[in-house]
C-alpha cells in the first residue's frame, strides 16, 4: 500500500487538494484508491503568521512498474503543475505539498528521500487523515498501527475535519 499526504495553505487550498487527489488516481490500481476527508490543520514548524493548512491523505496499490523513486519524481512534477515553486524558506506557504509517506514496507534512506517519511508519525495533520483510510496499517519500522500511533500522539496541533465526507473509489 502507498500512502501519500497532501497539504496546501496558499491559494484555493480546498480545490487544490481535491484536484491533486484526482491527479493521483493515475498511479493507482483503479479499484484500490481511497481518500480521507479534508482537514483544517494548524501550521507546524512554519514561518510566523503562516495560514492554516488543508490536509488529506490517499492510499492505493501502486500500478505495475511504479517504484518509490518514480512516484516521488511524479509527485514533484504535480507540485510544480499546481504552482509550487522552489523552496526558499523551510515549510513556507505553498500551493501543494505531496509527501510520500509509505510505499508498502519498503525502506529508503538516500539523499533523495527517506521511507517511511521520517516525521509523519509525529504529526497530527498526517495521522488524523491517514487513520480514516488505513487505521490498521502497521507503520514500517514500528510494531504500531496508525490508530495506535494516533492514540499515543502528544501534541498541541489542531486538526478539524471539514464537512466534505471521506470516500473510496
Among the listed residues 84, 90, 109, 119, the single catalytic one is 84
Q: Is 104 a catalytic residue?
A: no
Report helix, strand or coil for 148: helix
Q: Measure the CA angle with vertex 52, ends 111 and 134; round to 5°.
A: 60
Q: Whose CA is closest to 1, among 56, 49, 59, 83?
A: 59
Q: Is the peptide bond before 116 cis (omega within 30 degrees of 0)?
A: yes
Q: Is 49 a catalytic residue?
A: no
Q: Is 97 a catalytic residue?
A: yes
Q: Is 109 a catalytic residue?
A: no
Instruction: Please state, as a whole number, how many other Cβ atoms lie within 10 Å of the Cβ of residue 151.
Output: 11
Say how far apart CA 113 and CA 142 lie, in whole Å. Answer: 19
Among the listed residues 99, 109, 123, 154, the single catalytic one is 99
Classify strands 159-161 and 167-168 as parallel, antiparallel or unpaired: unpaired
Among the listed residues 35, 37, 63, 94, the single catalytic one is 94
Among the listed residues 35, 37, 97, 123, the single catalytic one is 97
Q: Whose CA is closest to 121, among 148, 91, 92, 156?
A: 148
60 forms bridges with which residues in the sheet?
2
Q: Which positions are catalytic?
A: 84, 94, 97, 99
Amino acid at each position: 500500500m502507498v500512502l501519500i499526504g497532501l497539504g496546501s495553505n496558499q491559494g484555493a487550498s480546498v480545490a487544490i487538494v481535491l484536484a491533486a487527489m484526482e491527479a493521483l488516481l493515475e498511479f493507482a490500481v483503479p479499484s484500490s484508491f481511497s481518500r480521507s476527508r479534508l482537514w483544517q490543520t494548524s501550521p507546524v514548524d512554519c514561518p510566523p503568521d503562516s495560514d492554516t493548512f488543508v490536509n488529506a491523505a490517499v492510499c492505493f496499490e501502486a500500478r505495475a512498474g511504479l517504484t518509490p523513486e518514480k512516484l516521488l519524481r511524479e509527485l514533484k512534477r504535480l507540485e510544480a503543475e499546481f504552482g509550487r515553486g522552489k523552496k526558499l524558506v523551510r515549510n513556507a506557504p505553498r500551493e501543494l505539498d505531496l509527501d510520500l509517506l509509505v510505499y508498502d514496507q519498503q525502506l529508503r534512506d538516500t539523499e533523495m528521500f527517506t521511507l517511511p517519511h521520517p516525521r509523519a508519525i509525529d504529526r497530527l495533520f498526517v495521522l488524523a487523515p491517514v487513520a480514516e483510510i488505513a487505521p490498521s496499517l502497521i507503520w514500517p519500522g514500528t510494531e504500531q498501527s496508525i490508530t495506535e500511533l494516533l492514540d499515543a500522539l502528544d501534541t498541541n496541533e489542531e486538526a478539524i475535519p471539514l464537512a466534505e465526507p471521506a470516500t473510496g473509489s
